């Protein structure tokens, strides 16, 4: 069963590059079930999954840097764990993505994919950076 069934529109890739405040207003206008929260890149957030909240990540200029989405989008808690365990957790917590375990230094495309999470590991198979949707 998908996470957040019946919540309405779940992703807003079209707001990347817009101001955070404009993006938040659009999100709340298009989905009355969620509250859009503008947050500066690198800021700490709670790790809970919520179907009524959308993080709108902005840079220091207030510009949206990644597509806002309903549900969990990053997994900092798996850093230091095995890549396979991390990938399983990612897919269990967000049914809309496929987790791909990748060795650090491996070539990767630069395209933004809302259905993909790369789990970067070192030679020992340990996660080295927080996996996130994209």
Residue 52 pLDDT: 84
Query: Are both 108 and 46 inside the same structural domain?
Result: no
Does some domain include residue 134?
no
Closest CA to 103 of 88, 116, 93, 118: 118
Give the integer Cα–Cα distance in Å for 74 and 78.
10
Query: Are both 3 and 67 inside the same structural domain?
Result: yes
Rg of the chain over all Cα atoms, to the nearest angstrom: 15
What is the number of domains present in the chain?
2
Rounded mean pLDDT of the chain?
89
Contact 75, 92 (CB under 8 A): no
Q: Specify the higher pLDDT residue, 9 or 99.
A: 99
Domain that holds residue 53: 1-71
Which whole number is the average pLDDT over 77-90? 96
Q: Does residue 1 surpass a pLDDT of 50? A: no
Which whole number is the average pLDDT over 11-16? 94
pTM for this model (two decimals): 0.57
Does some domain include residue 33?
yes
Query: Are both 50 and 89 inside the same structural domain?
Result: no
Query: Are both 2 and 67 inside the same structural domain?
Result: yes
* pLDDT-based confidence at residue 88 (cuts at 50, 70, 90): very high
Query: Are both 51 and 116 inside the same structural domain?
Result: no
Give the integer Cα–Cα distance in Å for 68 and 29.
14
Query: Are both 102 and 38 inside the same structural domain?
Result: no
Query: Are both 6 and 58 inside the same structural domain?
Result: yes
Give the integer Cα–Cα distance in Å for 75 and 20.
23
């Amino acid at each position: 069963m998908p996470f957040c069934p019946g919540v309405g529109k779940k992703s807003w890739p079209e707001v990347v590059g817009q101001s955070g405040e404009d993006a938040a207003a659009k999100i709340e206008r298009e989905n009355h079930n969620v509250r859009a929260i503008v947050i500066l890149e690198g800021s700490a957030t709670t790790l809970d999954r919520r179907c009524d909240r959308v993080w709108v990540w902005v840079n220091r200029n207030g510009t949206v840097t990644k597509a806002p989405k309903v549900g969990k989008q990053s997994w900092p808690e798996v850093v230091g764990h095995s890549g396979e365990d991390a990938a399983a957790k990612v897919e269990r917590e967000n049914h809309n993505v496929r987790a791909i375990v990748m060795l650090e230094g491996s070539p990767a495309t630069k395209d933004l994919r809302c259905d993909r999470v790369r789990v970067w590991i070192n030679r020992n198979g340990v996660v080295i950076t927080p996996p996130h949707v994209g």
